Chain A
Amino acid sequence: MRLTPRGVWWFKVLMHLMFLTPIAFLAAKVLTDNAGGDPVQYIIHYTGMGALNALVVTLVISPLAKRLKLGFLMQTRRMIGLYVFVYASLHIFAFVSLDLLFAWGFLLEEVVKRPYILVGALTYIILLLLAVTSFNRLKKKMGRSWQKLHNWVYLAALLAPIHFYWSVKSEIIEPSIYILICCGLLYLRKAKFLKQH
């Protein structure tokens, strides 16, 4: 299926809405005191799930575009990738500001001591690098190394659900499903991984 430039534009608007409305709902819930007894935990979990879900969506795009011949989907991939970064940034900002209350020493201690926070921090560093190099001009400048760098998203796709799995007390079914989904999405790209070696 092909879309006219106008169609692509509308599709992008739809995608923006899809990723912005949850943030608006979160704000509404928090402002109306409907985010539970401890809104801090609620916000941290909500934004973390948003980041993970957006990450899954970005990884679904290229297999979907190839198989269903929906080329226009590829034009939304960077945008959705940036939403992964937006949600992850909100997630970390909420943790640092609302939970740790900017106790940086404590944050460092937590990152070093706690494997799941360390895994989360590594994931965020990858997302940060991908976000700052997402501009067209930089992409051109970086040439082949750009693609190499952006292949790190596959590592992020493994680390993010592991971070989720490790952070929960016992409710491992949901994070396990995410690990399986992400592994599945990486499996679809096995040809790409094999070619590189």
Chain B
Amino acid sequence: MSKNTFTKGVKRQKLWDLPDNEVTPETVFKERRSIVKALGLGALGASIPGYVQAGLFDLFGEETPKNVFQSSELAFQRNSNFQLSQALTPEDKVTRHNNFYEFGTSKQDPFENAQSFQTEPWSLTIEGLVDKPIKLDYDALYKRFALEERTYRLRCVEAWSMVIPWVGFSLASLLKEAGVKSSATHVAFETLFDPDQMPGQKSRLMGGGIHYPYVEGLTIAEAMNPLSFMAVGLYGKTLPPQNGAPIRLVVPWKYGFKSIKSIVKIRVMDKQPPTSWNQLAPHEYGFYANVNPQVDHPRWSQASERSIGEGGLFSAKRIPTEMFNGYGDYVADLYKNLDLRKFY
């Protein structure tokens, strides 16, 4: 298969084909793997039962899962309006450092526990205050709307950040097709509830005390904002489960927990829906959760963030956090009459 495909006479250049220095070369990545193998750590780790691994010192942790989820290539256009000059976070970091408590609370858990997650068949319904409820099956997620690629910054409420090339379509195009009724004020989102596949939903210890299914919400104005994006892929391929396969929300001016994963239901409503983190700790996580360096989390500062980029341990960067994560031009107007200290 050729690297560059031709679509409508335009040479589709993939982002990661461009500056070599911005991505971990696959050879280096594989070399690292072989060092682990040479040390025999993999075999050692595999020979020890899970309860010991999770034991006193987290001695071994789990090595790479045996069956890695197979992502497939997507066809899309690059949207030049939503690109960034910042270097991308390498793909292996985007897919191995995740908050997805349905698969465990530590950052490595989703990668380790989600690989056999079934995304097909899937059903996403858009219902509530709409003219025409929609039901999208697995294939429709990729076919109903023209896919585009956008590179967004992602800022976690824990004060780390990434730069990720998503593939998907705007939330507005989906809502427009359903036809939002004039009485609507909010949109609610819901993650799949399937404790058999999502161990965090089965065990409180693994799931971090969240009431599942995970729910999120936006105002209609936020949902219709051109930034709000339904992602079905990253780095040109379908989403891996740990990143929210098969379809997730991406709202880059808000803290990452707003960008709900593995969505099965979108409900248009006339009141503000409950949201999971707000339910769990209302004084720490508000409904809006806009990235705001001036309003600290009660337990840590939001003024700066550690940018997760290429390179190893000593290449970490701490950068100042920008208001609305740098997307103020798009969204600041939405909040001009809102006290963001009160409505954090």
Determine whether A8 belongs to the interface, using a CB cutoff of 8 Å to chain B: no
Determine whether B179 belongs to the interface, using a CB cutoff of 8 Å to chain A: no
Determine whether B39 belongs to the interface, using a CB cutoff of 8 Å to chain A: yes
A40 touches B204 (CB 8 A): no
Q: Which of A31, A34, A98, A170 contacts B63 (CB 8 A)?
A: A34
16 contacts between A and B (CB under 8 A): A31-B35, A34-B63, A36-B96, A36-B111, A38-B308, A42-B107, A49-B57, A49-B58, A98-B316, A114-B299, A114-B300, A170-B208, A170-B280, A171-B205, A173-B204, A174-B205
Q: For the complex, would chain B's binding face be called helix, strand, loop or mixed by DSSP majority? A: loop
Determine whether A46 belongs to the interface, using a CB cutoff of 8 Å to chain B: yes
Query: Known: A21-B59, A28-B39, A103-B318. Is A40-B306 also a contact (CB below 8 A)?
Result: yes
Determine whether A161 belongs to the interface, using a CB cutoff of 8 Å to chain B: no
Determine whether B338 belongs to the interface, using a CB cutoff of 8 Å to chain A: no
B313 touches A30 (CB 8 A): yes
Q: Which residues of B contact A98 (CB under 8 A)?
A: 313-314, 316
Q: Which of B56, B105, B107, B301 contacts A110 (CB 8 A)?
A: B301
Could you tell me the distance in whole angstroms from the C-beta of B240 to the nearest C-beta in chain A? 13
Could you tell me the distance in whole angstroms from the C-beta of A117 to the nearest C-beta in chain B? 8
B313 touches A40 (CB 8 A): yes
Q: Which residues of A contact B277 (CB under 8 A)?
A: 170
Q: Which residues of A contact B209 (CB under 8 A)?
A: 170-173
Could you tell me the distance in whole angstroms from the C-beta of A32 to the nearest C-beta in chain B? 4
Give the 5 A-B CB pairs with smallest separation, nearest first. Answer: A37-B97, A37-B93, A171-B208, A22-B57, A171-B105
A34 touches B36 (CB 8 A): yes
A28 touches B299 (CB 8 A): no
Determine whether B61 belongs to the interface, using a CB cutoff of 8 Å to chain A: yes
Query: A159-172 vs B: 1/0 string, CB under 8 Å?
Result: 00000001101111
Q: Which residues of A contact B39 (CB under 8 A)?
A: 28, 32
Determine whether B331 belongs to the interface, using a CB cutoff of 8 Å to chain A: no
Number of A interface residues at 8 Å Cβ cutoff, please give it: 44
Could you tell me the distance in whole angstroms from the C-beta of A90 to the nearest C-beta in chain B? 13
- Which residue numbers of B lie inside 8 Å of A, CB to CB? 32, 35-36, 39, 41, 56-61, 63, 92-98, 101, 105-108, 111, 157-158, 160, 204-205, 208-210, 277, 280-281, 296, 299-301, 304, 306, 308, 312-314, 316-318
Determine whether A63 belongs to the interface, using a CB cutoff of 8 Å to chain B: no
Q: Which of B36, B106, B296 contacts A32 (CB 8 A)?
A: B36
- Which residue numbers of A lie inside 8 Å of B, CB to CB? 21-22, 25, 28-34, 36-43, 45-46, 49-50, 53, 98-101, 103, 106, 109-110, 113-117, 166-167, 169-174
CA distance A46 to B299 in the complex (A): 20
A36 touches B296 (CB 8 A): no
CA distance A100 to B300 in the complex (A): 13
Query: Known: A28-B39, A114-B300, A166-B299. Is A36-B57 also a contact (CB below 8 A)?
Result: no
A32 touches B107 (CB 8 A): no
Residue of B nearest to A39 (CB): B313
Q: Which residues of A contact B93 (CB under 8 A)?
A: 37-38
Q: Which residues of B contact A42 (CB under 8 A)?
A: 107-108
CA distance A106 to B304 in the complex (A): 10
Q: Which residues of A contact B61 (CB under 8 A)?
A: 29, 34
